[in-house]
Structure 1
Amino acid sequence: MKFMVIDGNSILNRAFYGVRLLTNHDGLPTNAIYGFLSTLFRLQDEYTPDRTIVCFDVKEKTFRHQKFDSYKATRKGMPDELAAQLPVMKEVLDALGIIRCEKGGYEADDLIGTISRKAEEQGDDCLIVTGDRDSLQLVSAHTTVHLVSSKGGQDTSRDITPEAFREEYGFDPIRLIDLKALMGDSSDNISGVPGIGEKTAMNLLHTFGSLDEVYRHLDAPEIKKGLRDKLTNGEQAARDSYWLATIERDAPLPIDMQALPDVQMDRDALYDLLTRLEFKSFLTRLGLSKTEAPAPTAAERKRVELTDLESAQKQLDALTELSAVPLFAAPGLRAFALLAQDTVYLLSLDSFSVTDWDTVTARLFAGEIKLVMHDAKPTYVELLEAGLAAQGVLFDTSIAAYLLDPTASAYDLERVALSYLNRELPKVDLTAEDAFSPLGGRDSALAAMTANVEAIADIYAEASARLEEQGMHKLFFEMEMPLMTVLAEMQQAGCKADADQLCAFGEQLDTRIAALTAQIYEAAGHEFNIQSSKQLGVVLFEELGLPYKKKTKTGYSTSAEVLESLAGYHPMIADVLEYRQLTKLKSTYIDGLLKVIAPDGRIHSHFQQTVTATGRLSSVDPNLQNIPVRTELGRELRRMFVAEQGRVLVDADYSQIELRVLAHVADDDAMIEAFRGGQDIHATTASKVYGVPVEEVTPQMRSSCKAVNFGIVYGISDFSLAQDIGVTRKEAAAFIQSYLDTYPGVHHYMESIKQSARENGYVETLFGRRRALPELNSKNFNLRSFGERAAMNTPIQGTAADIIKIAMLRVRDRLKAEGFEARLILQVHDELILEAPEHEAERAAALLREEMEHAAELRVPLVAEAKIGHSWYETK
C-alpha cells in the first residue's frame, strides 16, 4: 500500500501566501483552500496513493512546550484571513473522504513521523508532503519527502530520497537532528550551541558523524580551542536542542493504521462546500452536481410554451404591466425564456415563421417591457445587426454583480448563479444547430433556459437590494446600464480598417525582419531560433561570452530588461531587441487585425465594462487599448484605421485627467492653481521640487517630475522611481519626499485614503463606485502593500473612468437628439473617436469637446482637445 501524508498547516500556509487573496460572495477568504486543493489533486494524480492522510497541528501546547516554554515562542500567529479558512478546509477534506489526523499535545510532525514508521513496519511506502525541512529526518528506503519550497517568488518541489539527502548534506537523513542540535533553528526558537553556525556544524558532522561522537572527541586536533570552548559551554543546549528537534515517532495516533476506512466521498456535502467556495473548476474536475432539485425560491412555477404569434403577442402585452420581467435569450436570438410571477414562458424560432419570429422579437425589445437580463450586450448587438430595436433592458445582473464585486474573475451566468444562489446551472450547448429541434435536444434546451431565467430572477432579487444598500443605485441605473447600450452600438458600428495598407505595412516589416535575421545569424556564426529564449541565451552568454545576470534551471534570462542592460556589449543586442519588437508588431497587430476585419471592411471590437477592478473599459477581438503608441512604427498602425469615403474621424482625448482628478480629491492648492492657470503641470512640479524658475526647468527635470506625477497615485516606490529616472534609491526617496512636501494635499490624501479604506474595508470613486480591499488588513506585507496602492489609485483611476463614461453617454445622446449622422465608434483609455460626414466634422468636434469638458464639475477644469482627420493617425 502507498500512503501520502500531507503536513496540513505547512501546505495550507504556503498556499495562502502563494495564491493571491480570493474571497467568495460572502467575503470568506478562499485562496489558501484553493491552493491546497490544487496541490492535493495534482499530487494524487501524479503519485496515485492508496490512502491520503492530512495531519494538522492543534492550538493547545505540546509536550515540547511543557518542558521548554521558549519553544516556537517567536512564531507569529496565523493571519486572520488564513485562520478563517482552516475550519472550512477541514470540512472539505472530510467531505472528500480524506483521513484527517490531529492530536492534542503533539505536533503534526509527530503524527507524520508515527504514520511513516507504522507504514514502514507494514512494508508500505510513504510520501510525506511538506514545506518543512524538519521532516527530512524521516527519509528512509520506504519514506520519501516531497519538499515544497519557494525560490525567486516561485514554488518548486522535489522528492527527497536517502540518496538525494546524502548528495545534498553528506550524511544520513537521521543526522539532520544532530545538525539542528549544533546549529539551532531560529524559526522554532531552538538555540543549538551558541556561536556555531551551519558551516561549522556541517564540518563537525562530516568529520565525526554524530553529536555524540563530536562530544566524545572534544580533544581531537580537528577541534580548535575556541570551538572546543563553545561546545563545552553549550553541551546542555545541544542536548536540549537535540531533544526538541527530534520528531516523536511513537505518538498515540487517533487512527488505526491497520484498519483505515475506505475512501468515501460525501458528494452532496462536497458539492455544497465547493459551490459555497465558488470553486467551479473543482466541481467540474470531480464531476459533482446537485443530486436533488434545488429548493424553489418562489411558488412552484409552471412552464408554458408559446408557439403562435397570437398567443405570443397576447402574453407580451400582459407583460408590459409588470415592473420587472426576467428574460434569458439564447444566442442568435433563437429562443427566449421569460418569467412572469409563477410562470416561465418559452418561445423558440422553430415554432414560428421567420416573419412572425421577427415580429415577436421586435415587440419584446421595443422598450415597453421592463426586462431583466444577464449580459444583455451580446443580445443587443445581435438585435442591431438584424436591424431591430435594442431597448427595454432596465437591469443587467452581470453588470450588477460586477459593481458589487469588481475583482471577481468572471461574471458569466454560471459563475454568478454559483456565487449568489449556490446553484449549478445545466450545461447545454444552446448554440448547437439542432438545440431546439424536436429531433435534437429541445427538451434539454428548454429546461436549461428555464433554469437560467429562474436564476436571473433570483440573482436580480438579491443584487438589486445590495446595490441599494451600498449606495450604487444611481451609478448602476444612470451610468452603467445606459452605457451598455452605447457599447453595443459601438461594437455593431465598428471602425473601418484599410486592409491594403495593413498588408503593405506587413510586407515592409517582413523585409526588415528578414534583414535583422540575417544580421543576427551572421553575428552568431550560425542559424538558430531567435525566438527561443534558451537558444538565444546559449548564443549570447556561452558562445559570445556576454555577462549574464539571471540563470534558472531552464536556461538564461533573455528578458527585455536583461537585453537592454547589455546594449553596449555587442551589436547583436540592438538587432535582437528590434527583431522582437517587429515580429510582435507583425504577428499581433498586422496579422491579428487582418483576421478580424469583417466582410463590411470594419473591425468590430468587443467593448467590455465588467473586466477591470477600477471601472475602466477594455476591449477584445481585437484589444484596441494596446495599439502601440510609444514607437513610430507602432504609431504607424493608426494609419490603418480610417473613415469611410466622404467621412472623417473626430478624435478628442482628455489632458492629464487622472492628475486633474487627483488635484480635486486631494484639494491641493498648489496643484489646483497650476491647472486653473493652464500651466504645464510637469514643468510646474519640477520648478517647485527643484526650486528653480519654470523657464529654467530642463527636459530631464520635467521628465523626472512627470514620472512622479503619474506614479504617485500608484504608490510608486523609491526603488521603482530610481529605475524609471536613473538615480539611486536614496535619491529617489528624497525626490518623492520633496514632491510630497511640494503638494501637501496630495500627501494628506494618500495617508487619509489608506486609513479610511482600512476602517471601511473599501474605497469609492466620486460617483460611488466601490472596491473592497480586504488586503489592507492582511498581516502579509506584500498583500497589504498591494491594498495600499489600490486604495490610493482606485478612487483616481476609477473616477477618471466614470467621467469618460459620462462623456460617452452625453455625446451619444446629444448626437441623436440633434440629428447628427456622426456616431461614436471607439473609446481608447481617455480618448473618444467619432466617425462623421465631412460636412458635420467641425460641429461634431465642438460637441465632442464640449461634452467631454463638462462631463463633471471638478475644482479644476477638464480639458479635451478635438482633432479631425481621415485616419486615426491624422487626428493625433
Structure 2
Amino acid sequence: MKIMVIDGNSILNRAFYGVRMLTNHDGLFTNAIYGFLSTYFKLQEDEKPDRTVVCFDVREKTFRHKQYEGYKAQRKGMPDELAVQMPVLKDVLDAMGVTRCELAGYEADDLIGTISRKAGEQGDECVVVTGDRDSLQLIGGGTTVRLVSTRMGQTTYKNYDTALFEEEYGFAPPRLIDLKSLMGDASDNIPGVPGVGEKTAMALLHSFGTLDGVYAHLDDPAVKKGVRAKLEAGEESARMSYMLATIDRDVPLPLDVSALPEAFADAERLYALLTRLEFKSFIKKMGLEESASPAAAQVQRQVLPLDSADAVFELLGSLQDGGPAAAVVPVSCASACLLCGGKAAVFASPDFSADEWREILRRLFSGAVPLVMHDAKELLAALMGMGLSPEGVVFDTCLGAYLLNPAEGSYDLERVALSYLNTQLSPASFEDEAAFSPLGGREDAVAAIVRHAEAVEALYQDIAPKIEAQGMKGLYYDVELPLMTVLADMQRIGCKADPEQLRRFGEALDERVAELTTQIYEDAGEEFNINSTKVLGGILFDKLGLPALKKTKTGYSTNADVLEALRGYHPIIGNILEYRQLTKLKSTYVDGLLKVIDPADGRIHSHFQQTVTATGRLSSVDPNLQNIPVRTELGRELRRMFVAEDADTVLVDADYSQIELRVLAHIAQDPVMIQAFREGRDIHATTASQVFHVPLEEVTPQMRSSCKAVNFGIVYGISDFSLAQDIGVSRREAGEYIAKYLDTYSGVKRYMEETKQHAKEKGYVETLFGRRRYLPELQSKNFNIRSFGERVAMNMPIQGTAADIIKIAMVRIWKRLRAENRRARLILQVHDELIIEAPVGEQEAVTALLREEMEGALQMDAPLVAEAKAGHDWYTAH
C-alpha cells in the first residue's frame, strides 16, 4: 500500500502566500483553501496513493515548548485571513472523506514521523509532502519526501529519497538532526552552537559523522581552535537543539495506520461547502451533481403549452405593464423562456415560420414587456444585427453582480448562481437551435432553460435590493444598464479598417525586421534564434560577455527591463529592442487586425466588456483596442488603418484632457490644483514651478517631465524607488520631489491619508457615483499585500470616477444622436477617448455635440475639458 502524508499547516501556509487574495460572496477568505485543494488534486494525480492522511498542528504548547521556552518564540501568529480558512478547510477534507490527524502536545511533524515509521514497519510505502526541510530526516525505510517550494509565484516539487539526500548533503538523512543541533534553525528558533554556521557544521559532520562524534573528537587537529572553543561553550545548547530538532516518531496516534479508511465523500455536504466557497472548477472536477444540493429539489414550474404564434402574442400582451419577467434567450436567438407567475413559457424557432419567429422576437423586445435577463449585451447586439431595435431589459443580473463585487473576475450565470443561490446550474444545453428539434432532446433543453430562468429571477430578487441599499441605484439604472445597449450598438456597428494599408504597413515592418535580423547576426558573429530567450541569453552574456543583471530558473533573463538597462553596452541591444517592438507590431496588430476584419462589411467589430475591470473601466477583446500602442511613432501609425466608411464620412475624435488629475483635484478639494485647472494652466509646469520654487517661465523641460511623473504616479502610491527609476534620478532626489509635491498640494496629501483610513474602517472605497471596490488586502498582516491595498484605495476613487464619467458621456452622446436624428454613430471608446463616425455634413454639429456632452458629464470644481478633432482616419482625427 502507498500512503501519502501531507503536512497540512505547511501546504496551507504556502497556498495562502502563493495565491492572490480571494473571497467568496460573503467576504470569507478562500485563497489558501483554493491553493491547498489545487495542490492536493495534483498530488493525487502524480502519486496515486492508496490512502492519504493530512496532519495539522494544534494551537497548544508541545513538549518542545516545555523543554525550551524560546522554541519558535520569534514566529508571528497566523494572519487572521489565513486563520479563518483553517476550520473551513478541515470541514472540506472531512466531507471529502480524507483522513485528518492532529494531537494536542505534538506538532504535525511528529504525527507524520510516526505514521511514516509505522507504514515502513508494516511494509508500506510512504510519501511525505511538506514544505519543511526538517522532514528530510524521515527519509528511508520506505519513506520518501516530496518537498514543496514556491518561488516567484511558481510551485515546484522535489522528490527526495536516500540517494538524492546523500548526494546533496554527503551523509545519511537522520544526520540532518545533528546538522541542526550544530548550526541551529532560525525559523524555529533552535539555537544550535552560537557562532557555528552551516559550512562549519557540514564539515564537522563529514569528518566525525554525528554530534557525539564531533564532541568525542574535540582535540582532533582538524578542529580549529576557535571552532573548538565555540563547541565547548555551546555543548549544552547543542544537546538541547538536538532534542528540539528530532521528530518524535513514537507518538500515541489517534488513528490506526494499519487500517486507514478509504476516502468516501459526503456528496451533499461537500457540494454545499464548495458552493459556499464558490469553487465551481472543483465541483466539476469532483463530478458533483446539482442533485447533491437541497436547492435542486425545488419543484420546477409548469411549462405552458404554446402551440401557435397567436398564443405567444397573447401571452406577451398579458405581460405588458406588469412586473418584470425573468427571461432567458440564448445569443443564437433560437429559443426563449419567460417566467410568468408560477409558470414558465418556453418557445423555440423550430416551432414557427421565419416570419412568425422574427415577430415574436420583435414583440418580446419591443419594450412593452419589462424583462430581467443575465448578461444580455451579446444578445442585444445579435438582435440589432437582425435589424431589430431591442428594448425592455429593465435589469441585468450580470451587471448587478458586477457592481456588488467588481473584483470577482467572472460573472457567467453558473458562477453567479453558485455565489448567490448556493446552487450549481446544469449546462446551458438549450443554446443550440437543434436542442428543441424533435430529435434534439427537447425535454432536457426545456428543463435546463427553465432552471436558468428561475436562477435569473432569484438573482434579481436578491441583487436588486442590495444595489439600492448600497447607494448604487443611480449608477446602475442611469449609467450601467443603458450603457449595455450603447456597447451592443457600438459592437454591431464596428469600425472600418483599411486592409491594403495594413498589408503595406506590415510589408514595411517585415523589411525593417529583415534588416535588423541581419545586423543582429553580424553583431553576434553568428546566426541564431533571436526569439529564444535561452539562446539569446547565451549570446549576450556568455559569448559577448555583457553583465547578466537577472537570472531565472531557466537561465538568463532577457526581458525588456534587463535589455533597457544594457543600452549603450553593445549595439546589439538597441537592435534587439527594435526587433522585438516591430515583430510584436506585425504579429499582434497587423496580422491580428487583418484576421478580425469582417469580410461582409470590412469593419472590425470589437467586443466591449463591461464587467471585467475592478475600477469600472471598459475593456475590449477580439481585438483589444485599448492596447493599440501610442507611445511610439510606429505604433501610432496603426491608427491610420482605422478609417471612415467612405469619402463622405469623417471620424470625430474627442479626448479628455488629464481627466484623472482633474478628478483628483475635485475629490481632494486641493485649492492649488483646482485653481491651476480653472485658469487653464499647464498642470505639470505649474507643479514644477511650485515644487522647485521657480517662476513658471523658468521651468525647464526636465523639471516639467519630473513633475509629470509625480503627478501621474502619486495616486498610484508611487515610491521614491519607482520614481527614481522612472525619471533617472537618485532615490533621495525622488523622495524630495514627492515630499515637495505633497507640501505643495496639501489637499492631495490629506486625501491620500484620509482615504486609506476610511478604507480600513469601511473595508471598501468608492467613486463619486458610489461604485465600490472592496479591499480585504487592507486587513492583511503581510506588508506587501497591505501596501497593495493602500495603493488601490488611493487610486480607485480617481480612476473609477473617471471611468464613470466617460460612461455617462457615452450614454448621453448615444441618446442625443438619436434624439436629433443624426446619421452619426458612436463607434469607439479607448481609455479617455470617444470616436464618432459622421457624415461630412454633420461634422461641425457632431464635434460640438461630442465636446459638450463629454464636458457636461459631471460638473466639477476642476472643470472637464475635452479636445475634439476630425479626420478621415483615426490618426488624423486624434
Secondary structure at the aligned position of 1:155 is classed as strand
Q: Partners of 2:290 and 2:150 in 1: how far apart?
A: 38
Provide the C-alpha distance between the structure 1 equivalents of 2:29 and 2:555, rounded to a whole number of angstroms.
Answer: 37
Q: Does the 8 Å CA contact 1:666/1:745 hold for their aligned counterparts? A: yes
Secondary structure of the corresponding residue to residue 186 of structure 1? coil
Match of 1:625? 626
1: CA distance, partners of 2:278 / 2:435 = 28
Residue of structure 1 equivalent to 2:508: 508
SS in structure 2 of the partner of residue 873 of structure 1:
helix
RMSD of aligned C-alpha atoms?
1.5
Q: Residue 229 of structure 2 aligns to a residue in which SS?
A: helix
2:522 corresponding residue in structure 1: 522
Q: Which residue of 1 aligns with 2:708?
A: 706
CA distance in 2, matches of 1:89, 1:296: 25
Q: Deviations over 1:524-570 (max 9, x none)?
A: 34332221111212222223232212233422211111122222222
- Show the counterpart of 1:539: 539
| Aligned partner letter, 1:223 | V
Using the size of structure 1 for normalisation, the TM-score is 0.98
Greater shift, 832-841 or 273-282, is seen at 273-282
Identity %: 65
Task: Say which is worse superposed, 143-152 or 14-23, in terms of deviation.
Answer: 143-152
Residue equivalent to 1:175: 175
Asked whether the 8 Å contact 2:626–2:830 carries over to 1, the reply is: yes
Quote the residue 1:741 is aligned against.
Answer: 743
Question: What is the match of residue 442 of structure 1?
Answer: 442
Cα-to-partner distance string for 1:709-763 (whole Å, 9 max, x where unaligned): 1011111112211110112222222221121111111111111101000000000
Q: How many aligned residue pairs are there?
A: 876
2:347 aligns with: 347
User: Pairwise mapping of residues 291-302 of structure 1 onto structure 2 (< 5 A)?
Assistant: 291=291, 294-295=294-295, 301-302=301-302
Match of 1:339, SS?
strand
Q: Cα 1:467–1:37, aligned 2, differ >3 Å: closer, same or farther?
A: same
* Partner Cα distance (2:294, 2:579) in 1: 58
Equivalent residue runs for 1:786-825 within 5 Å = 786-825=788-827
- Structure 2 partner of 1:90: 90
Partner of 2:732: 730
For 2:756, the equivalent position in structure 1 comes to: 754
SS in 2 for 1:291: helix
The one-letter code sitting in structure 1 at the alignment partner of 2:460 is Y
In the TM superposition, 1:110-259 aligns within 5 A as 110-259=110-259
C-alpha displacement of 1:814: 1.4
| Rounded Cα–Cα distance in structure 2 between residues aligned with 1:511 and 1:233 | 75
Within 1, Cα distance between the matches of 2:805 and 2:368? 30
Letter in structure 1 aligned against 2:207: T
CA contact (8 A) 2:429 2:448 kept: no
For 1:645-684, what aligned pairs fall within 5 Å after superposition?
645=646, 646-684=648-686
Stretch moving more, 673-682 or 225-234: 225-234
Secondary structure class of the residue paired with 1:331: coil
Deviation per CA, 1:287-342: give whole Å up to 9, x if none: 11123575479886211242311111111011113211000002221000001120
Give the conservation status (yes or no) of the 8 Å contact 1:687–1:693. Answer: yes
Deviation at 1:153, TM superposition (A): 5.0
Partner Cα distance (2:441, 2:685) in 1: 67
Which amino acid in structure 2 is aligned with residue 667 of structure 1? Q
Note the 1:826-837 alignment, pairs <5 A.
Answer: 826-837=828-839
Cα drift, residue 245 of structure 1: 0.9
Q: Secondary structure at the match of 2:368?
A: coil
Secondary structure, counterpart of 1:26 in structure 2: coil
Please give the alpha-carbon distance, in whole angstroms, between the structure 1 residues aligned to 2:175 and 2:345: 74
Report the Cα offset of residue 863 of structure 1.
0.6
SS of match in other structure, 1:461: helix
Long gaps (5+) in structure 1: none
Q: Summarize the Cα distance change of 1:452–1:197 in structure 2 as closer, same or farther, 3 Å threshold.
A: same
**Separation in 2, partners of 1:183, 1:535:** 41
> What is the aligned partner in structure 2 of residue 75 from structure 1?
75
Q: Which amino acid aligns with 2:739?
A: Q
- Is residue 110–residue 248 contact of structure 1 (8 Å, CA) maintained in 2? yes
SS state at 1:106 partner: coil
Shift of 1:490: 0.8
Alpha-carbon distance between aligned partners in 2 of 1:244 and 1:709, rounded to the nearest angstrom: 55
Moved more, 423-432 or 492-501: 423-432
Q: Residues of 2 paired with 1:198 and 1:731: CA distance? A: 41
The answer to whether the aligner puts 1:779 opposite 2:765 as a matched pair is: no
List per-residue Cα deviations over 1:415-438 (Å, max 9, x = no partner): 111111111111144443522211
C-alpha contact 1:268 1:290 (8 A) present in aligned 2: no
Residues 143-170 of structure 1 show CA distances to partners (whole Å, capped at 9, x for unaligned) of: 2111112334543321122222222222
Q: Distance in 1 between matches of 2:293 and 2:174?
A: 56
1:238 Cα deviation from its structure 2 partner: 1.2
Indicate how the Cα distance of structure 1 residues 556 and 296 shifts in structure 2: closer, same or farther if over 3 A, else same.
closer
Which segment drifts farther, 150-159 or 579-588? Answer: 150-159
Tell me, in whole angstroms, the C-alpha distance in 2 between the residues paired with 1:293 and 1:121: 43
Distance 2:220 2:846 in 1: 95
Aligned position for 1:273: 273
1:493 CA displacement: 1.1
CA distance in 2, matches of 1:765, 1:122: 65
Q: How far 1:69 moved relative to its partner?
A: 2.3
Check whether the contact 1:141–1:162 (CA below 8 A) recurs between aligned residues: no
Tell me how far apart the structure 1 counterparts of residues 181 and 741 of structure 2 sit (CA, whole Å). 53
Shift of 1:186: 2.0
Question: Which amino acid in structure 2 is aligned with residue 323 of structure 1?
Answer: G
Change (3 A) 1:565 1:635: same
- Amino acid in structure 2 at the alignment position of 1:42: K
1:597–1:603 contact (8 Å) kept in structure 2: yes
Greater Cα shift, 79-88 or 504-513: 504-513
**Aligned partners of 1:548 and 1:560: how far apart in 2?**
13
Confirm or deny: 8 A CA contact 2:18 2:150 kept in the other structure. Answer: no
**Bigger mean CA deviation after superposition, 804-813 or 655-664:** 804-813
2:7, 2:109 within 8 Å by CA — same for their partners in 1?
A: yes
